[in-house]
Amino acid sequence: MSETAESLHIAVIGTGVIGAAWVSGFLAAGHTVTAFDPAPGAENRLRSQLTDRTASASAPQTDQIRFASDIADAVADADFIQENGPERLEVKQSMLADIAEAAPPNAIIASSTSGFAPSEIAARTRNKPERIVVGHPFNPAHLVPLVEVVPTPNAPTEVVERALEIYRSIGKKPILVRAELPGHVVNRLQAALWQEAYSLVNRGVVSVADIDTAISYGPGLRWAVLGPLALQHLSGGEGGMQHVLDHLGPPQEVWMHDLEQVHLDDQLKDKLVAGVDAELFGRDEKRIAAQRDSMLRDIIELKKRYEELP
Ligand SMILES: NC(=O)c1ccc[n+]([C@@H]2O[C@H](COP(=O)([O-])OP(=O)(O)OC[C@H]3O[C@@H](n4cnc5c(N)ncnc54)[C@H](O)[C@@H]3O)[C@@H](O)[C@H]2O)c1
């Protein structure tokens, strides 16, 4: 954290996969963290994960964390709260109601929910529900910079701006989502790709491994550099996006309208599971995950060197 940046008091509620990642990010940026998770052994698990991550470049300051005895204790002095409980609506609603009851009135409350709308999870909150936003991260969340911020329709501008600013302060790259939709924006984009990938596998057009090769050795390489729309613009040469849409728009529409809806029945699930097993046969999954993280770190560092790219 730079000397001028403020140090905030952050509460992280639920310290499973995603909560632990948020704790590392907030600590590494110089904020203090109070965490709470009711699972037996949760504090030890969190501390040992943080210790493992101290080997990385952005080592979390493990002395800046306190483990609280309940939600009220965790959020009592918080400036910002990140909720990461189980993805079940009634659990989220109850956790957020408890958090809002005990948090200072100006604290912002963000939920990591992968798909619920902020209005849905705030439905049982009586104490200033308009300060509840979705702050949806991406796995592995201690590395991937993207966070989707989804406010409720009547959220004050200050709440939205402040949430975006706090995420930027820990090196995240937030985007603002201006409507409440199932899956927010990014899981919908992923769902569009998954739908066609599953359909192509189901029809026997390509294998699971072929789909993964096609993306990770093809468009996926470019997508880490520039998004799919800016890339489309570049592919149009001097005519840019206008030329691409005029020239390739009509066939593109044919492809878009030919996409098939899939239903995840047992037969398709079996094909997908067997396909991934065949693709990864003989490889060590722990090493795959570690190499994914290591390569992601390299790519994220590399991106900082190319200032002309958005
Ligand atoms: N795993 C992912 O890839 C991913 C990515 C983005 C967002 N998310 C979202 O993040 C949230 C957490 O997911 P996860 O993968 O970390 O799940 P997880 O199962 O690893 O962690 C959930 C944690 O919540 C704790 N918990 C249960 N009840 C609680 C309570 N009343 N108060 C506080 N903590 C409580 C559990 O003990 C557990 O440690 C979900 O909303 C999920 O949709 C997950």
pLDDT in tens, the chain (310 residues): 544 478 999 999 999 999 999 999 999 999 999 999 999 999 999 999 998 776 555 556 667 899 999 999 999 999 999 999 999 999 999 999 999 999 999 999 999 999 899 999 999 999 999 999 999 999 999 999 999 999 999 999 999 999 999 999 999 999 999 999 999 999 999 999 999 999 999 999 999 999 999 999 999 999 999 999 999 999 999 999 999 999 999 999 999 999 999 999 999 999 999 999 999 999 999 999 999 999 999 999 999 999 999 9
Site to probe by mutation for ligand 1, drawn from 34, 37, 88 as the one with most ligand atoms within 8 Å of Cβ, is 37
Q: Give me the pLDDT at residue 58, please.
A: 54
Paired with 35 in beta bridges are 12, 67
Name the residue at shortest CA distance from atom 28 of ligand 1: 85
Q: Give me the pLDDT at residue 54, please.
A: 62
Write the DSSP string, 284-305. Answer: -HHHHHHHHHHHHHHHHHHHTT
Q: Give me the pLDDT at residue 53, please.
A: 75
Ligand 1 atom closest to the CA of 113, numbered from 1 = 41
Name residues contacting ligand 1 (CB within 6 A). Answer: 13-19, 36-39, 42, 84-87, 95, 112-114, 136-137, 139
92 CA distance to ligand 1 middle (Å): 10
Q: Give me the pLDDT at residue 3, please.
A: 45
Per-residue model confidence as pLDDT tens digits over 235-244: 999 999 999 9
Q: How far apart are CA 100 and CA 40, in angstroms?
A: 25
Radius of gyration of the chain measured on its C-alpha atoms: 21
Cβ-based neighbours of 18, under 8 Å, separated by 6 or more: 84, 112, 137, 139, 141
CA distances from 183 to 115, 186, 192, 271 (A): 4, 7, 11, 25
180 CA distance to ligand 1 middle (Å): 21
Name the H helices within 29-170.
42-53, 71-75, 89-102, 118-121, 157-169
User: The tokens of 19 are what?
Assistant: 């909560």
Ligand 1 atom closest to the CA of 95, numbered from 1 = 31
Name the residue at shortest CA distance from atom 34 of ligand 1: 14
Q: Could you tell me the domains of the chain?
A: 9-176 (3.40.50.720), 186-303 (1.10.1040.10)
Name the residue at shortest CA distance from atom 18 of ligand 1: 16
Name the residue at shortest CA distance from atom 38 of ligand 1: 16
229 CA distance to ligand 1 middle (Å): 33
Q: How far apart are CA 205 and CA 197, in angstroms?
A: 10
Ligand 1 atom closest to the CA of 87, numbered from 1 = 41
Q: How far apart are CA 164 and CA 166, in angstroms?
A: 6
Q: How far apart are CA 109 and CA 132, in angstroms?
A: 5
Angle between helix 266-280 and helix 186-202 axes, rounded to 10 deg: 90
Name the residue at shortest CA distance from atom 25 of ligand 1: 14
83 CA distance to ligand 1 middle (Å): 8
Ligand 1 atom closest to the CA of 85, numbered from 1 = 24
